[in-house]
Structure formats: C-alpha cells, structure tokens
Amino acid sequence: MGHYRNVVGLKVDPEKVGDAHIFRPWGWPVALIVSERVKRALEDEGLSGPRFIEV
C-alpha cells in the first residue's frame, strides 16, 4: 500500500523542477527523469542501456 504500480500520462512542471537535471519521482524507484541536456550527453557517449520517453 502507498506505492504507485502504474503511471499513465506523466507530466513534469518545469517551474517545480528548477535547475535539476536528474531526479526521481517520489514512490517510483525505477524511473529517472533527466533533462534534454543529460539525454543528449548520454546519447553522445553511445550508452546503449537507457530508454528515453518524453514527459
């Protein structure tokens, strides 16, 4: 009880994120939210593990 099992239509409020480039939503230990800057840096390095979904 008290944990998310599924999230559909996740939206991020840029005003609340501030200058953060990486954060994890409370109660959701699997997902990391990253900025476009971090996403591009990971892709430029050729990492093959991450999967990016726009929120």
Q: What is the reported pLDDT for 1?
A: 63
Could you state, in order of their start, the residue ranges of all structural domains in the chain?
1-55
- Encode pLDDT of 18-52 as tens digits: 899 999 888 777 888 999 999 999 999 998 888 89
- Rounded to the nearest 10°, the torsion over CA 46, 50, 53, 55 is -100
Q: Which residue, among 41, 39, 37, 38, has the nearest Cα to 51 in the 3D structure?
A: 39
